[in-house]
Amino acid sequence: MDKLQWIQNKVYDREQLRRQCNIWRSLGKKIVFTNGCFDILHHGHLQLIATAANMGNVLVVGLNTDNSVKKLKGEGRPVVHEQDRLFQMASLLCTDAVCLFDQDTPEELIKMVRPDVLVKGGDYTIDTIVGADFVQGYGGRVEIVPFVAGYSTSALIDNIKKL
């Protein structure tokens, strides 16, 4: 399989992802889930993704659609279109599946994936992580990856505007 096809094969719609997670689970794989906008992919994002991938056998990434990002971040966002962000995330060696979600939160996607480990960045606390109660309710873990200081999409945008 060529590399472009390999990347495209990591992009799932919800039904495909549900079926694939059932297959991974039947094979005894530990499924890890994280999500985000990942607009202007930077070191902090990559640190989160790589760390999350090390917490299990399979990493599923929920990616906010452009519409969802705009609701969360405001006008002018996202900077990078959802199809480009999807391609970037699927291109990473440590991701196994990427799925878009258009809702305000990834709660529905988390409930469908039923991850063994739910991972978020250090700017969250356990009580602010959507899906934490659900995952812990069936014995799953919730992990917070320490925030990488000095990296933020908003700061990058501000720096670019100053140029």
The residues spanned by each domain of the chain are 3-162
pTM: 0.93
How many C-alpha atoms does 69 have within 13 Å on its Cβ side? 22
In this predicted structure, what is the pLDDT of residue 157? 62
Output the CA angle 74-67-60, nearest 5 degrees.
110
- Closest to 96 in 3D by CA, of 163, 26, 34: 34
pLDDT on residue 91: 96
pLDDT of residue 162: 78
Cα distance between residue 14 and residue 99, in whole Å? 7
Which residues of the chain fall short of a pLDDT of 50? Answer: none
pLDDT of amino acid 159: 67
d(CA 14, CA 130): 18
CA–CA dist 44, 25 (Å, integer): 29
**What would the two tokens of residue 31 be?**
């499924």
Answer for the pair 71, 37: CB distance below 8 angstroms, yes or no.
Answer: no
- Looking at residue 73, its pLDDT comes to 87
pLDDT of residue 4: 87
Residues in the chain: 163
Looking at domain 3-162, its CATH architecture is 3-Layer(aba) Sandwich (3.40)
